[in-house]
């Protein structure tokens, strides 16, 4: 019994000591206190993904020192990369493109209109036709989460530079 406890303790210490951590558990936006997300599609998938990531990162959505993220355009594309020998699509590329700009709390533009892109590749498996739609949706959701993280990292980088001139 003592041996098992000791082994569990050693494994826990080894895991914690190597820098391993759960995905999404690191605060990637430590320099942003508040961020307001605006745009034409304020209730779209990208805005919802940003709101969820802001909640996880403990970023307020309003405040006197809030930065402003303006979502200009978002586009989800599904491109066929390869065809099978029966002329059916065998491989897709899911491409999420978001165009945005950012202003700081004083209203100065810190990121001019810019484009961020996330790509996922999906191979069609003809033996699992029923699961393909669900898997495609999971890949799209993952692309939106990664896009939200990428945008928050960019803003955090700029915010860190403004705090430490």
> 148: exposed, middle or buried (C-beta count within 10 Å: 0-12, 13-18, 19+)?
buried
User: Would you state the pLDDT for residue 43?
Assistant: 84
pLDDT per position as a tens digit, 140-161:
999 999 999 999 999 999 888 8
**Domains in the chain, start-ordered, CATH in brackets?**
2-163 (3.30.160.150)
Predicted confidence band of residue 52 (pLDDT cuts 50, 70, 90): very high
pLDDT for the residue numbered 47 = 93
Whether residue 148 contacts residue 50, with contact meaning beta carbons closer than 8 Å, is answered with: yes
Would the pLDDT of 80 be above 90? Answer: no
The pLDDT assigned to 119 comes to 94
Given this model, what pLDDT does residue 165 score? Answer: 57
Average pLDDT over residues 89-94: 84
Q: What is the pLDDT of residue 85?
A: 78
- pLDDT-based confidence at 164, cuts 50/70/90? low
pLDDT at 22 over 70: no
* Residue 40 falls in which region: left (phi positive, over 0), alpha (psi -120 to 50) or beta: alpha
∠135-140-144 over CA atoms, to 5°? Answer: 145
Instruction: Give the whole-number percent of the chain exceeding pLDDT 70.
Output: 86
Q: Which two tokens stand for residue 52?
A: 């969820």
Q: How confident is the model at residue 17 (pLDDT cuts 50, 70, 90)?
A: low
**Strongest mean pLDDT among 12-16, 17-21, 42-46:** 42-46
């Amino acid at each position: 019994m003592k041996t098992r406890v000791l082994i569990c303790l050693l494994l826990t210490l080894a895991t914690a000591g190597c820098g391993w951590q759960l995905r999404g558990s690191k605060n990637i936006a430590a320099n942003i206190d508040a961020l307001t997300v605006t745009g034409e599609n304020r209730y779209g998938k990208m805005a919802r993904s940003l709101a969820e990531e802001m909640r996880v990162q403990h970023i307020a959505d309003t405040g006197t020192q809030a930065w402003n993220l303006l979502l200009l355009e978002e586009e989800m594309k599904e491109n066929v990369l390869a065809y099978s020998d029966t002329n059916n699509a065998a491989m897709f590329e899911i491409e999420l493109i978001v165009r945005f700009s950012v202003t700081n709390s004083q209203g100065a533009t810190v990121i001019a209109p810019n484009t961020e892109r996330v790509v996922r590749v999906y191979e069609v498996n003809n033996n699992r036709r029923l699961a393909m739609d669900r898997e495609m949706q999971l890949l799209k959701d993952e692309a939106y989460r990664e896009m939200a993280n990428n945008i928050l990292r960019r803003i955090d980088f700029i915010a860190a530079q403004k705090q430490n001139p």
